[in-house]
Amino acid sequence: MTSARFCTFSEPLPYPEAVSLQKRLVDARITDGIPDTFLLLQHPPVITLGRRARTDFLLADDETLAKSGITKQFSSRGGDVTYHAPGQWVLYPILKLSQNEMGAHGYLHALEDVALNTASHFGIQAYRKDGKAGAWCDQGKFAAIGFKFTRWVTSHGMSLNVKPNMNGFELIVGCGLVGERVTSFQGVLGVETCPSMDAVAEVVAEVVNEVFQRETELIEPEDL
């Protein structure tokens, strides 16, 4: 098992700050200044567009977004358009993938496994859809994926809808998938039985160890 660090943020982190934090960690990871590091955090409401995102998949103009308290950011990750908000965990692994470990496809599969295994821990029957990245259950898609390699160090990653305000998803065609329903743990389990954000975070931290074969040490944001 490779040692690694896992850091959960208790307060939502604005998207641009998360981008600069990841950039700093990626640079440090490339030069082996830090071990593999997983960030688990929430963003204030934001719609982000990947490099090849088609703006017609963003259904709201800037004014509507501003009224809804949602900002818009362009992102260097792969993938199309997506929405983040409190109540959704975002997992950003900063991993140096060894040449023998996995390529983009294996990494995508591993991120999907994190979403699927976490959902299944809470009794949600979840599955992949062929040819599409992400994780689904019968009620819709609950995890979205988009990542970047910088000299084979990963950044960006996966978002998991636990209990976000789902209104923001109505303003986008999520991941460019037309007619795709989006759901959350709360949408599947109901308000009463939906686990807390903290409970989900603990499970994600365990699942990450299994899926990526890492032995993670929990650290605080100030130790990053």
Interface residues with another protein (CB under 8 A) are 50-52, 76-79, 99-100, 103-105, 107-108, 133, 145-152
Compute the distance between CA of residue 50 and CA of residue 1 in angstroms, rounded to an integer.
Answer: 33
Could you tell me the smallest distance in angstroms from the CB atom of residue 25 to another protein? Answer: 16
Nearer to another protein, 122 or 149 (CB): 149
- How many degrees, rounded to 5, is the angle at CA 57 between CA 56 and CA 61? 65
Beta bridge partners of 71: 46
Per the CB < 8 A criterion, the answer to whether 144 and 150 are in contact is no
Q: Are strands 46-49 and 71-74 parallel, antiparallel or unpaired?
A: parallel
Nearer to another protein, 155 or 186 (CB): 155
Q: Are strands 36-41 and 2-8 parallel, antiparallel or unpaired?
A: parallel
Contacts 24+ apart (CB under 8 A), 29-33: 29/94, 29/95, 29/96, 29/153, 30/96, 30/150, 30/151, 30/153, 32/96
Could you tell me the smallest distance in angstroms from the CB atom of residue 101 to another protein? Answer: 9
Could you tell me the smallest distance in angstroms from the CB atom of residue 156 to another protein? Answer: 8
Nearer to another protein, 2 or 150 (CB): 150
Nearer to another protein, 60 or 102 (CB): 102
Cβ neighbors of 186 (< 8 A, separation 6 or more) are 87, 162, 163, 194
Could you tell me the smallest distance in angstroms from the CB atom of residue 221 to another protein? Answer: 26
7 has catalytic annotation: no
Q: Which residues are catalytic?
A: 175
